[in-house]
Amino acid sequence: MTVQPSQSARKIAIVTGGSRGIGRNTVLNLAARGVDSLFTYHSHREDADAVVAAVQEAGARAVAVQLDTGEVGAFDAFVTQVRSALTSLGATHFDFLVNNAGNNHRNMPFDKATEEELDNLYRVHFKGAFFLSQKLLPLIRDGGRIVNISTGRTRIIGPGGAAYGSMKGAVEVLTKYMAKELGPRGITVNVVAPGAVATDFSGGIVRDNPEVNRHIAELTALGRAGVPDDIGPMIAALLSDDNRWVNAQRIEVSGGLVI
């Protein structure tokens, strides 16, 4: 029997992009560990409501807040909403931040990538994670945890990934600087790099294209493409006190993709 902590002792996580895919799975796995969540969604309120309901079924609490993480100008208003949501959860601070939100991208050969496409990736994947973390620093507890989400494509180089992979490479470097500068507050900062995961990301290419899915499986030591439930539990575990001494690390979760 799992004994849930009292509400006053419960941890609280903020997860961006928590209504679908890896973010949703992370929120649900945190709920199974007795962690409450405030998560963001971009446009599909019905998906967010479904996650809130699933969290409640697991015996935890969740608050969904709409946010475009590519719009830095909206962050002050978001922080105000966070303060209000924390009050509703009986808290003034939160414990964990997972910078997961991302926008769909297409493979873009280096010589075909446009300034607009590059800027779009930059705003969401790097600039958004950078400044949202900065804005939330006054509200994260000393001794808290931050996890940034990267990709296996910073290690596995293939045609079409220059723009996306470079943005995530910047996130990986940022993670080390954050760990160094937030260390005096006891805050750990790590980066999780999923391999190819079957979600609706990038048009669901891994999930919905049998040829792509089969190709990924052939390249993976464990013989299949990843699914969200391969990633969410790992993130939840990384946020736990069991991993308090893991800091400034890039952890790839790919089943052994292209070893």
Residues annotated as part of the active site? 164
d(CA 99, CA 64): 15
**DSSP code string of the chain:** -PPPPPGGG--EEEETT-SSHHHHHHHHHHHHTT-EEEEEESS-HHHHHHHHHHHHHTT--EEEEE--TT-GGGHHHHHHHHHHHHHHTT-S-EEEEEE----------TTT--HHHHHHHIIIIIIHHHHHHHHHGGGEEEEEEEEEE--GGGTS--TT-HHHHHHHHHHHHHHHHHHHHHGGGT-EEEEEEE-SB-SSGGGGHHHH-HHHHHHHHHHBTTSS-B-HHHHHHHHHHHHSGGGTT--S-EEEESSSBT-
Q: Quick one: tokens of 93?
A: 């601070």
d(CA 64, CA 15): 10
Between helices 162-182 and 128-136, what is the axis angle to 10°? 20
